[in-house]
Chain A
């Protein structure tokens, strides 16, 4: 067992999850592969969305994977950083929009 919860080398073993549940694992990877194909959105656009989400869900494996994927696609670091900011803005917006609930509750309880 590794001495930390995250080991970069584990990313290469991702496919092994199928070994303990062939059907669900295979269905997941099939779905995953399909999602990132060229569609109404380009594979390049989807890669940037994935990078932003990777940061929001704070998945170190996904950050490694989609930074590399971006480099492979010729995506520039400015584009990558803007994508991360888009994710971060939504995440902080999601926190801040709850302030309306706070304000409502505050006003309801206050005389």
Chain B
């Protein structure tokens, strides 16, 4: 299990050009597999264009207390990219005027941004309908200063979305590090204790499942049922929905695929599972992604690949929703990850 990010290890794949090069060449350039643009053109979806903006996803920094093997952000304790209060202020201006109904804070561990609480308090005042914080759970148990997070989330009616790769200790710790399972269980119990995740309750607690290896997620509903049964029976834990998210072949997951000689088979699996019905509602069509330094992207994955959105509005400080919405979405072969099977987004399946 790595303890440092690709960036800190000075791994060749920390260079995003190297990642893009792999995605553009090899089996795709050789014609063994079709390019994503050709595949969506066949389905009548090229160029991919935004529909109504629903979700504003803000990445408040790449610092994290964990170094998960599959992380597409290459997050970790050594990452120093943290959103400043100045950029947060620019984001707040946008949050107040956006047509999006959902605000989605992510990271890294968003809670590690020193201005996280201030930002949440200010953003909550904007009265956005659904306010999500993507919490990795262990952060709640990482340090005393985070122990009251469940109460803080509750106070601001935050919708908590948490990663939980499996309901067994072995599979969870293998992907996310030793001890992650026990800490996550404790954090979930604490969230439950303040009222999160209860059937019919308003305090929403959803879990995110990522496969812990070179395979695609199975049926989301079946997995949700298995998770619910096991977590309730073994630990008395309740939650609302399980989002099954496909790992996209970028960053640390791409590094893993190549090192384990699974890259080609994985790309075949993604292409074989291409679902035209998923293209129509893929998340870049209803989401905008803001990076820690305020740049605007079609999605969090494009952000990690440094692919800034194609409209003239590049930065949050010059935000103009109508101009942004009139753009072509930037794609590459990693996009197959969002169109495989029932589709994949930060909100789970799409088709």
Contacts and interface: CB of A to CB of B under 8 A. Distances in A.
A27 interface: no
Contact of B226 (A68, A69, A74, A77): A74
Nearest to A71: B215
A72 B272 CA distance: 15
A90 interface: no
A43 B216 CA distance: 16
A76 B213 CA distance: 13
A11 to B, nearest CB: 10
A65 B272 CA distance: 14
B281 to A, nearest CB: 22
B166 to A, nearest CB: 6
Interface in B292-327: none
B215 A76 contact: no
A108 interface: no
A12 interface: yes
B259 interface: no
Given A12-B268, A12-B272, A74 B215 contact: no
Contacts of A69: 218
B129 interface: no
Contact of B222 (A44, A68, A71, A76): A44
B89 to A, nearest CB: 43
A102 to B, nearest CB: 44
B217 A72 contact: yes
B215 A68 contact: yes
Nearest to A76: B168
A73 B171 contact: no
Nearest to A12: B268
A12 B270 CA distance: 12
Interface in A27-76: 42-44, 68-69, 71-74, 76
A69 B216 CA distance: 9
B170 interface: yes
A24 to B, nearest CB: 23
A43 B218 CA distance: 11
A44 B170 CA distance: 20
Contacts of A77: 170
A42 B223 CA distance: 12
Nearest to B230: A74
A81 to B, nearest CB: 13
A71 B266 CA distance: 14
A69 B227 CA distance: 17
Nearest to B268: A12
B167 to A, nearest CB: 8
A43 B222 CA distance: 9
A20 B283 CA distance: 40
A72 B218 contact: yes
B108 interface: no
B211 A72 contact: yes
Contacts of A44: 222, 226
A72 B215 contact: yes
Contacts of A72: 211, 215-218
B216 A74 contact: no
Interface in B242-271: 268
A76 B218 contact: no
Nearest to A68: B215
Contacts of A68: 215
A74 B164 CA distance: 12
Contacts of A76: 168, 170-171
Interface string B202-227: 00000001010101111100110011
The listed residue with most B CB atoms (<10 A of its CB), out of A71, A72, A76, is: A72
A74 B213 contact: no
Contacts of A43: 219, 222
A73 B272 contact: no
Complex A-B, nearest 9 residue pairs according to Cβ-Cβ distance, in ascending order: A72-B218, A73-B218, A71-B215, A68-B215, A72-B215, A74-B223, A74-B226, A76-B168, A72-B216
Given A44-B222, A69-B218, A76-B171, 19 more contacts: A12-B272, A42-B222, A43-B219, A43-B222, A44-B226, A68-B215, A71-B213, A72-B211, A72-B216, A72-B218, A73-B219, A73-B222, A73-B223, A74-B166, A74-B167, A74-B209, A74-B218, A74-B227, A77-B170
